[in-house]
Structure 1
Amino acid sequence: MGDFERYGRLTAELEPPFAVVDLAAFRRNADDLVRRAGGIPIRIASKSVRCRALIAEALQRPGFHGVMSYSLPEALWLARNRVDDILMGYPTVHRAALRELAADAEAASRITLMVDDFEQLSFIKATTGGGGERIRVCLDVDASLRIFGQHLGVRRSPLRTPEQVVELAHKIAADDAFVLVGVMFYEAQIAGLPDTSPAVRWVKRRSAAELSDRRGAVVDAVKQVAPLRLVNSGGTGSIEVSSSDPAVTEVTAGSGLYGPTLFDRYDVFQPEHAVAYALGVVRRPTPRIATLFGGGYVASGPAKKSRLPSPSWPLGLSLLGTEGAGEVQTPVQGESARGLRIGDRVWMRYAKAGEMLERFEVLHAIDGNELTELVSYRGEGKNFG
């Protein structure tokens, strides 16, 4: 995203804070994701988009198929709004939603739950009474790298070896309440790490090699228990790695459509900055500091600088180390602050992707010189966090 002056002209009558999406940049990002996937279908990570109109736009493009949902109530809502092939990215213990799923043949045909523990299956059966529709499930397999006594990656599934995965697969296959349709591997230590040093690049290469061997062994073993409809892997930062593995049938991506700041420093790709938000200048405490109203939209994850939003326009601004981005005020500093006046705007970029839309009911969509409104999950009265 670079044409902030044009965005400013098109949004001159809007009251900040407000968020915009550049549809041309969004579409170019979608095309680049498809190029990187090399013919492997891309499943859209809904938590990284959180706008039904933009999810639908991406799904209409060749190369995209299906949605990875982050919440079962969200998955049911999407299914009832004609979204097909929804894979849960995480296990669920939402009792009411589980009962809804088991009682709805159409939803059960569209939604696949994620599991990694027999206790989760027991919970589902106890909640649903073991009756109703057969529930489709996918096995989440740990994709982290374990080396030098360290666990590199996120703490997700307890399943790691082919033997562990097959043991649970046999239990699912023997239970008429469930049908096993897939396995998933999310390599966060590849997908979520910017290429900031030779050490990071080495870890990524080592992890990719280890996972490719283990993933193939797991998939081969599970196929002896049940036919697999999907083998899901990857994220925006690891599409090339995942799609190059012959065991993988689909990859997942979402953040790459928006291009947040956490994806600014990768070697093999650079998404355009398709989403930003504007804040208004309300104070001038010194000639080199302008104070903005609101803006404390800090991304989830470890509490550090990389999770803070970034002032992007005018160029040369930065947050104050003593204040950061605040709920009611966000001071920015730099030589370009001298040119800011009360009522001017500063454009900010978010660290992650869809989380930003928990703050905005509407995304103002810029398409050339046209401005329209797209409603976010929040604007539809939905909060699945």
Structure 2
Amino acid sequence: MSADRIALKERLDRATAHLETPVAAVDLAAFDDNADQLVARAQGKPLRVASKSVRCRTLLERVLARPGWRGVMAYTLPEAIWLVRSGVTADVLIAYPSVDRTAMRELTAEAKLADAITLMVDHPSHLDLVDQVTPPGDRPAVRLCLDLDSSWRPAGGLHMGVRRSPVHSAGQASALARRITARPGFRLVGMMSYEAQIAGLGDLPPGQALRGRAIRLMQSRSFPELVRRRAEAVAAVRQHADLEFVNGGGTGSVAATGADPAVTEVTAGSGLYGPTLFDAYSAWRPTPSAFFALSVVRRPAPRIATVLGGGWIASGPAEASRLPTPYLPEGLAFKPDEGAGEVQTPLLGAAAAALRPGDRVWFRHAKAGELCEHVNELQLVDGGSATPAPTYRGEGHAFLG
């Protein structure tokens, strides 16, 4: 095991020795360094923190207090209301359309919330729902952001990227903007375009050289097309509304998106924790800062150590990249026919021979904020000590649960 890994394991073990497993920890030195690295890559554009990738109010407040960070991108309207009411931020952009009528009623009943929260829309029916909850004359103006689809459509029916907004062209964006601005009780204040095929897709998938080359070729052609189309769409929408912001990107594209003249702010979040999916990016790899530890409970064979729990699987396609990774000590791997189990997880390898019941194995999650759905608190490690900070779950919130 490398000296850096040995030192990290000793620091995590020492700081959390008084706690029972499972335990999740964030190394604050790495977290802060990642925050600074993201700012340095953002080309002078402010960064909006993606709360979905953090899910801990203490850490959201920590990163927002750093230079270069401004505002939150939330994932649900109830979460956005909670963040504003609790004083985390007065600037929340919701990344996805909401149809939560109860939360909508709360939003439209209070000017403070309506001034702080921006809803995402990509169809007039989203406006209809707001009007059904609270008619225009009975509410403050609702802030809206138009979601521009960023996928690449090179020819025919080919579609490279995720399926999000139906608004793909400048003409479609202009048409929707015209309909929004003609409706009373709404203010179109922003545009967003998330280039998932670049920001959310690693170009160095392990053991897949041919796929990596295909991804890099796709990205090299997709991004210039998006820059051109995004500029056209922004110009078209500005004919109808005075936009306060144009949001784009994610951790995997901070530098490229920040260099786009049409973009005024960039979103990032996963890069603060450095989950394993970002090991497959050539442009920038964050330092791992978030980990979880499980205890060895038995030794079924000389080179097998079994830990209690472990099935903390990430969302997305059902493939190996969504499994957690045994990280400390080095040299551990899953048993292929068992994988990461909900109750127990056998680990193979030379390092397993030295493990005994009661020893800890530290893992990295495949995705960032999803780690927080398994624990009530994160241990914030600073040097050799740890301070607990509640996760969303620990504060009683499961916004997508």
Alignment pair present for 1:153 and 2:158: no
Deviation at 1:161, TM superposition (A): 0.8
Query: Any stretches of 5+ residues in structure 1 without a counterpart?
Result: none
Please, what TM-score do these two structures have when normalized by structure 2?
A: 0.94
Give the number of aligned pairs.
Answer: 385
Contact 2:14 2:385 in 1 (8 A): no
Residues 137-152 of structure 1: pairs in structure 2 closer than 5 A:
137-148=144-155, 149-152=157-160
Contact 2:11 2:383 in 1 (8 A): no
> Residue by residue, what CA displacement relative to the aligned partner does 1:276-318 show, whole Å, maximum 9, x if unpaired?
0000011111111111101110000111100000000111101
| Secondary structure of the structure 1 residue equivalent to 2:223 | helix
User: Structure 2 counterpart of 1:188, which letter?
Assistant: A
In 2: Cα distance, 1:59 partner to 1:13 partner:
30
> Residue by residue, what CA displacement relative to the aligned partner does 1:196-215 show, whole Å, maximum 9, x if unpaired?
22221111111110000000
Alignment pair present for 1:267 and 2:273: no
Deviation at 1:150, TM superposition (A): 2.1
Alignment-derived partner of residue 135 in structure 1: 142
Alignment pair present for 1:52 and 2:57: yes
Deviation at 1:246, TM superposition (A): 0.5
Aligned mate of 1:33, from 15, 25, 38: 38
Please, what TM-score do these two structures have when normalized by structure 1?
A: 0.98
| Secondary structure of the structure 2 residue equivalent to 1:147 | coil
Residues 358-373 of structure 1: pairs in structure 2 closer than 5 A:
358-373=373-388
Alignment-derived partner of residue 214 in structure 1: 229
Residues 226-305 of structure 1: pairs in structure 2 closer than 5 A:
226-305=241-320
In 1: Cα distance, 2:135 partner to 2:351 partner:
64
Aligned mate of 1:162, from 147, 155, 170: 170
In 2: Cα distance, 1:260 partner to 1:37 partner:
20
| Secondary structure of the structure 2 residue equivalent to 1:43 | strand
Alignment-derived partner of residue 220 in structure 2: 205
Deviation at 1:125, TM superposition (A): 1.0
Deviation at 1:147, TM superposition (A): 2.4
Structure 1, 200-209 or 227-236: larger mean CA deviation: 200-209
In 2: Cα distance, 1:85 partner to 1:9 partner:
38
Residues 322-337 of structure 1: pairs in structure 2 closer than 5 A:
322-337=337-352
In 2: Cα distance, 1:10 partner to 1:27 partner:
18
Alignment pair present for 1:17 and 2:22: yes
Alignment-derived partner of residue 95 in structure 1: 101
Displacement over 6 Å in runs of 4+: none
Deviation at 1:370, TM superposition (A): 2.4
The alignment-based identity, stated in percent, is 55
In 2: Cα distance, 1:321 partner to 1:4 partner:
25
Question: Measured at CA, do residues 147 and 321 of structure 1 come closer, stay the same or move farther in structure 2, by a change above 3 Å?
Answer: farther
| Secondary structure of the structure 2 residue equivalent to 1:107 | helix
User: Structure 2 counterpart of 1:269, which letter?
Assistant: W
Contact 2:315 2:322 in 1 (8 A): yes
Contact 2:14 2:384 in 1 (8 A): no
Aligned mate of 2:48, from 28, 43, 49: 43
| Secondary structure of the structure 1 residue equivalent to 2:280 | coil
In 1: Cα distance, 2:176 partner to 2:14 partner:
58
> Residue by residue, what CA displacement relative to the aligned partner does 1:77-116 show, whole Å, maximum 9, x if unpaired?
0010121110000000000000000001000000000000
Deviation at 1:274, TM superposition (A): 0.2
Query: Any stretches of 5+ residues in structure 2 without a counterpart?
Result: 205-211
Alignment pair present for 1:112 and 2:118: yes
Alignment-derived partner of residue 318 in structure 1: 333
| Secondary structure of the structure 2 residue equivalent to 1:384 | coil
| Secondary structure of the structure 2 residue equivalent to 1:13 | coil
Alignment-derived partner of residue 179 in structure 1: 187
Deviation at 1:179, TM superposition (A): 0.4
In 1: Cα distance, 2:372 partner to 2:294 partner:
15
Alignment-derived partner of residue 380 in structure 1: 395
